[in-house]
A and B are shown apart, each in its own frame.
Chain A
Amino acid sequence: MNRKLLLLPGIMASLLAAHVRLCAQTPTDALMMNKGQICVAVAYTHDTWDHYWEGALHRDNGNIGTLTRQTVAPMFALGITDRINVQAALPWVKTEASAGQLAGVQGLQDFGIWAKVKALDKPLGPGDFQLFGVAGFSAPASDYLSDYMPLNLGLSAYEGTFRAIVQYQLDQGFYLRSQAGYHLRSNTEIERDFYYTTHAVYSNEVDVPDAISWDVVAGSWLFEKALRAEARVEGMNSLSGNDIRRQDAPFPANRMVSTRVGAFAQYYTPFLKGLSVLASGSYTVSGRNVGQSTAFTGGIAYQFGLWK
């Protein structure tokens, strides 16, 4: 009854959407802290699905019902220089299924740290063209088990991420942005030394497929930069792996694919300089070996100067 894999694309997307975005700065956006500025944030994400894709087959499962994944993700982003930022996040996750007998799980998931570098910032026509590079690393922050899908907290693998972001922003506030990232993943260690994917494997290690993630975003700053609103399409594609077989449980070696649409807004409150609240929602429109999740995130971020 391992269904963990189903969650992963949803998790990844919602984590990126949630913890990364809160500070108005995530590994996937085009925001930077200035030197000496720090943004601390916490986001809560509520992610559910009652259908999933077993390979290409779209189905429900009476022994899962609705699967709910809640994430609380504290994070920070720090401006080392105006062009180099460091970000980190440590999500706590809780899963449960509304039907069936499988116990839910809760605990710390993966600690992630990223460096974002602004490589290019050039006036171009009526706006500004920017190019960023992001490199990051994440590691399991507890001894949670990946081989418990779909109730697993995560893939329990070390991950290196390499990402490029481009953005073109008009001077009046409208912007288009896109990013693509490569996720280099280690094996995950499971608690048995035999499993079957497309063949028998005698090992307690499982190859978690590398993946690419991407998004295309249209957004705008409104009300004299008090509000930022975005619409987005995003995706995650494993680069290898096998399909969940008929009535089998998902497994960390599955090839997971998902495409999501979503919206995001961040509002800088007039009450306290640097304080903002944010909200986002996303919906999985297509997938393979993942849950068709709907996720909502709410969060609060506070930005202030640490040094000059």
Chain B
Amino acid sequence: MKNILFVFGLFVLAAVFFVACNDDDFPTQLDIALYDYASLDENGGQWRPVLLSSADQIAVPVPAAVTSPAYQAELEVTRSAAAGRNADQEAAAHYWGVNSTVRWNEIARELAAKYNLIPAPNADGTYPAPNPANPGEYPLFPFAHPPYTARMLAYLSAAQFDALIATWHYKYAYERPAPYVTDPSIPVLLPKNDLPAYPAHEAVVAAVSEVILTVMFPLEKDYIAQKAAEHKQSLIWAGVNVQSDIFAGDSLGRAVAGIFLARASADGMKQAQASRQVSDSLRDAAQEMFGWHWENLESPQRPVGLTPLFGQVKTWCLPDLTLTRPPVPPAPGSPEFETAAQELRDVADNLTTDQRAIANFWSDGFSTYTPPGHWNRLACEYLVNFKMNPLRSTRVMAYMNMAIMDAGISCWDAKYYYHYPRPSQAIPGFKTILGIPNFPAYTSGHSAFSASAAAVLSHFFPADAPRFDAWAQEAAESRIYGGIHYRFDAEAGITQGKAVAVYAIQRAQADGAE
């Protein structure tokens, strides 16, 4: 009996050990400590916007004076709400914190991951497509694949940036102080600063984000609206704004977002998922010109690749696609091709644990935020580490995401122009450890997205340029380890991404912020 007790005692100890080791409380968001802004960018209202003709294109009414009875009444509302805030309200104020652009980026990435699922085949072997006119019917709209997500993040960031330039303009035009300046008795939860409070920049960010994301993810309308409402209300709980600051910010944000949505509705994305006929003609043209073409190898075969005409979507900073179109890839069967193919076989046959880990780390496939989302995540950590204010933050994100989208457009132009087969198609019997994307190989999208993002981030955070470059190289290399790209796909993608980024960086250098 003693033996039995001893054995069971051991297992009880083992159980305790297990429970102790099994921490299921995983992070779902970036942990952001409250911080003081490294700069306030008082002249930010003079920066050059992306789409707005000028910072005052959208009119914002003159606010009531802080001495007026109307303002005093608003001040009392804020004071009593801040004084009476409960733990949940305090948590909300902390969550939105000092840089809500990071939070909205996080929400956008989460929605991208949620909607990044490719349509399943019908029972008869055909494939359905998402229908924006009926988003709730399977397959749900959108399918947030990498081009979709790149574009979504570009509109979100660029609209936030323009709206905050306008916000800064009016802040310093009207100079309405923060509630806690007028009434020092307000218990403020967030770090105080000298930014004028009208219009409320956080409300601008909430409104822009709500309008853009609702169009990008129509089924999430209620969720997004609830987030935006909480965001705006949290400004009162935190004691940093009065209602008219928020109202003005909300109106401004909606108006600016509308200008970006007007561009989005006509940027060519609606036509990107081309018809079978157009898709076949691209394939036939490549076969005619180069003597090869890419084929989807899934079963049942997907008749049209992913967004064959994404290469015709309107770019942000890149003036002409021919500037960044890569040279013709080596023909299958050529010595250069055989060298690349042999490398893939060698890698697959001798894959190390490190190589496998790199392939998986950067895979960013279905049910993830895609490579553009991965770089947004990395960039957000920099915004926080560098204690950037929201305007400065959206500047980084806007240029990075415009460059990423332009790189995607340039890459897709090459993909469907060259229509180059994937290794699994060109190398008999070749197996991979990653799923094979539904579009041609050359150039590598991961490489182009990553190189463009790394180049823009290197411009804004030059001390870390080697690090960004190493990440981009690793992301490019990861596709070789995964068996889904030749080295020349990756190298051409890197070159292309860097070349595209030059135009975004040039624009940043000339926007008045440097």
Contact = CB atoms under 8 A, between A and B. Distances in A.
**Are A and B subunits of one complex?**
yes
Interface of A: 1, 62-63, 65, 80-81, 83-84, 99-104, 115, 117, 119, 133, 135, 137, 143, 145, 147-148, 158, 160, 162, 184-187, 190-196, 199-203, 205, 207, 245-249
A252 B269 CA distance: 36
A184 B360 contact: no
B463 interface: no
Given A102-B435, A196-B113, A245-B367, A201 B120 contact: no
Given A81-B3, A199-B28, A187 B18 contact: no
Contact of A147 (B3, B11, B30, B360): B360
Contacts of A162: 11, 15
Contacts of B120: 246-247
Contact of A63 (B28, B299, B361, B434): B299
B119 A84 contact: no
Given A103-B432, A199-B110, 9 more contacts: A1-B434, A104-B431, A145-B360, A184-B22, A192-B360, A195-B367, A196-B368, A200-B106, A249-B435
B117 A115 contact: no
Pick the most buried of A1, A184, A194: most chain B CB atoms within 10 A of its CB: A194
Given A143-B353, A190-B360, A191-B361, A103 B110 contact: no
Pick the most buried of B15, B22, B365, B368: most chain A CB atoms within 10 A of its CB: B22
A110 B467 CA distance: 37
Interface string B443-483: 00000000000000000000000000000000000000001
Contacts of B4: 83-84, 117, 119
B23 interface: yes
Contact of A158 (B18, B117, B118, B369): B18
Nearest to B431: A103
Interface in B129-180: 138-139
B114 interface: yes
Which 4 interchain pairs have the tightest Cβ spacing? A62-B299, A135-B11, A191-B360, A103-B431
A117 B26 contact: no
A205 B18 CA distance: 15
Nearest to B354: A191
A160 B8 CA distance: 12
B298 A201 contact: no
Contact of B28 (A186, A200, A207): A200
B328 interface: no
B58 to A, nearest CB: 33
A158 B17 CA distance: 11
A101 B436 contact: yes
Contact of A1 (B357, B435, B483): B435
Contact of A137 (B8, B14, B23): B14
Nearest to B138: A246
B29 interface: yes
Contacts of A63: 298-299
Nearest to B24: A207
Contact of B430 (A83, A101, A117): A101
Nearest to B107: A200
A99 B300 CA distance: 11
25 contacts: A63-B299, A80-B3, A83-B4, A103-B433, A117-B4, A135-B7, A135-B11, A135-B14, A137-B14, A145-B360, A148-B433, A186-B18, A187-B21, A191-B356, A192-B361, A194-B368, A196-B113, A201-B26, A202-B27, A202-B28, A203-B27, A205-B23, A245-B117, A248-B366, A249-B435
B117 A247 contact: yes
Interface residues of B, number: 60
Contacts of A158: 18, 21
A119 B4 CA distance: 8
A249 B366 contact: yes
B298 A62 contact: yes
A110 B351 CA distance: 21
The binding surface of chain B is classed by DSSP as loop
Contact of A160 (B15, B26, B110, B121): B15
A100 B429 CA distance: 11
B470 to A, nearest CB: 17
A121 B438 CA distance: 62
B27 A248 contact: no
Given A63-B298, A101-B431, A162-B15, A194 B377 contact: yes
A200 B109 contact: yes
B367 A196 contact: yes
Pick the most buried of B3, B106, B348, B367: most chain A CB atoms within 10 A of its CB: B367
B21 A246 contact: no
Contact of B7 (A115, A148, A195): A115
A187 B424 contact: no
Contacts of B361: 191-193
Contacts of A147: 360
Nearest to B374: A194
B19 interface: yes
Nearest to B14: A160
A272 B489 CA distance: 63
B394 interface: no
A186 B431 contact: no
A200 B11 CA distance: 35
Contacts of A245: 117, 367
B299 A117 contact: no
A184 B15 contact: yes
B22 A102 contact: no
Nearest to B373: A194
B363 interface: yes
Interface in B372-410: 374, 377
B331 interface: no
B65 interface: no
Contacts of B121: 62
A239 to B, nearest CB: 12
A100 to B, nearest CB: 7
A148 to B, nearest CB: 7
Nearest to B429: A101
A115 B11 contact: yes
Contact of A103 (B18, B21, B348, B365): B348
Contacts of B363: 192
Contact of B118 (A99, A137, A187, A247): A247
Nearest to A115: B7
Pick the most buried of B117, B300, B348, B483: most chain A CB atoms within 10 A of its CB: B117
B432 to A, nearest CB: 5
B21 A186 contact: yes
B64 interface: no
A294 to B, nearest CB: 22
A64 B341 CA distance: 24
B7 A117 contact: yes
B432 A102 contact: yes
B33 interface: no
Contacts of B109: 200
Interface string B278-300: 00000000000000000001111
A135 B424 CA distance: 46
